[in-house]
Amino acid sequence: MGWRGILGFEYGIVQAPLGPDLSCPELVAAVANAGGLGLLRAPDWESPDHLRELIRKTRTLTDKPFGVGVVLAFPHQENIKAILDERVAVLQVSWGEITEELISEAHQAGVKVVPQIGSFEEARKAVEVGVDAIIVQGLEAGGHVIGKDGLITLLPRVVDLVGDQDIPVIAAGGIVDERGYIAALALGAQGVCLGTRFLATEESYAHPTYKRKLVEFDKTEYTNVFGRARWPGAPHRVLLTPFFKDWKNLPIHENETNQPVIGRSTIHGMEKEIRRFAGTVPNVTTTGDIESMVMYAGEGVGLIKDILPAAEVVKSLIEGARRLIHQRFNGEI
Ligand SMILES: Cc1cc2nc3c(=O)[nH]c(=O)nc-3n(C[C@H](O)[C@H](O)[C@H](O)COP(=O)(O)O)c2cc1C
């Protein structure tokens, strides 16, 4: 069928790493227990001990395999060492160069390397160095968006590039329900990676107001208004909140550094101030003017009608896809 598991996981459903800390152990474990691949998110600074704690906490909640996402644009050597020492199943990487050395170290530790890419060129490099699977991110995706192509055009190109090599291709961007899942399979993907849908779950570490807005609002925009100083050149897709509407034309010379502090958060054990236009989404610990903080979301957010348990999301994707194939397609076109 080609739409069952990937990389040894029961189902081809991947829960995206949700930075900085929204894909918490509870979410990752719930996805793992439901048969999907859940991904923790490493801190954006070297904090191997904290990362080990996250991995070990997740292991107290599930005996199934799971992975960790690392954004290579930030310091990460020690964090990756901890991930390999802990021998999690998958190391997901994004926003940086993947070396053959990294792949070989990971493989020696029994860890599979899965980059998220946003262009054909990035996919070609990933195949050349020998990755284990590729997540193709389309412009529809929530959070930081690395490429400029829509999923419907980029995904089949990457599928063709991979050809008959054993490298599962996983689709990311705007997928929320079984219809998106089946569409991705039709384009040649073997799995799907969902961020926004898993953000809007009971287990995610997002602030309750952020979760509520994901249900309330249905439009997103691709922008570079948030976190310009801390992470330049990293456009992102955000929810079209009243705050963002008011500020979406922020003059290019402005950034978060000289803005007022609008709140505080504890992120991966560190106390942080949040300035206006910072790229930091509100988590459960955040206090202050939550509605004026960045809220990343993918184009599929208009399909999200409620906050669900993460296991329910996995189950409805699988059962819905089975039903859809049977009822709608049934071998005919
Ligand atoms: C809140 C949020 C945080 C994200 N953080 C990361 C991250 O840390 N690393 C990463 O590779 N992708 C991250 N992404 C992007 C996802 O990996 C994925 O491409 C995206 O969520 C797919 O689109 P969707 O949100 O429409 O499902 C994030 C997305 C969201 C919504």
Q: What is the dihedral of CA 174, 55, 294, 259, to 10 degrees?
A: -150
Backbone angles phi, psi at 15, to 5 degrees: -95, 115
This prediction's pTM: 0.97
Q: Which atom of ligand 1 is nearest to the CA of 301?
A: 26
Q: Among 13, 18, 24, name the best residue to mutate to test ligand 1's pocket (greatest count of ligand atoms within 8 A of Cβ).
A: 18
Domain extent listing, the chain: 13-203+304-329, 208-301
Task: State the Cα–Cα distance between residues 74 and 93, nearest whole angstrom.
Answer: 11
pLDDT digits 0-9 by tens, 38-94:
999 999 999 999 999 999 999 999 999 999 999 999 999 999 999 999 999 999 999
Residues near 8 by Cβ (< 8 Å), separated by ≥ 6? 65, 89
Backbone angles phi, psi at 309, to 5 degrees: -65, 145
Return the DSSP state at 299. Answer: G
Roughly how many angstroms between the first and final C-alpha of the chain, as a whole number? 17
At residue 331, the pLDDT reads 59
At residue 6, the pLDDT reads 86
Percent of the chain with pLDDT over 70: 98
* Residue 91 CA to ligand 1 centre (angstroms): 15
DSSP 180-199: HHHHHHHTT-SEEEESHHHH
At residue 115, the pLDDT reads 98
Chain centroid, CA 295 distance in Å: 14
Instruction: Residue 43: count other Cβ atoms within 10 Å of its Cβ.
Output: 23
Q: Are strands 112-117 and 90-94 parallel, antiparallel or unpaired?
A: parallel
Whose CA is closest to atom 18 on ligand 1?
Answer: 195
Task: State the Cα–Cα distance between residues 58 and 61, nearest whole angstrom.
Answer: 5
Instruction: Give the H or E element holding residue 27.
Output: helix 25-33
* Residue 331 CA to ligand 1 centre (angstroms): 34
pLDDT digits 0-9 by tens, 82-127:
999 999 999 999 999 999 999 999 999 999 999 999 999 999 999 9
Q: Which atom of ligand 1 is nearest to the CA of 93?
A: 11
Q: Look at the block and give the residue holding tokens 């993947």.
A: 98
Taking 70 as the pLDDT cut, the residues of the chain under it are 1-3, 331-333
Give the pocket of ligand 1 (CB within 6 Å).
Answer: 16-19, 22, 41, 69, 71, 94, 116, 137, 140-143, 172-175, 193-197, 199, 281, 296-298, 300
Please check whether residue 278 is in contact with residue 230, taking contact to mean a CB–CB distance below 8 angstroms: yes
CATH class of residue range 13-203+304-329:
alpha beta
Q: Which atom of ligand 1 is nearest to the CA of 174?
A: 26
DSSP 86-134: TT-SEEEEESSPPPHHHHHHHHHTT-EEEEEE-SHHHHHHHHHHT-S-E
Return the DSSP state at 206. Answer: B
Whose CA is closest to atom 3 on ligand 1?
Answer: 18
Backbone angles phi, psi at 164, to 5 degrees: -95, 15
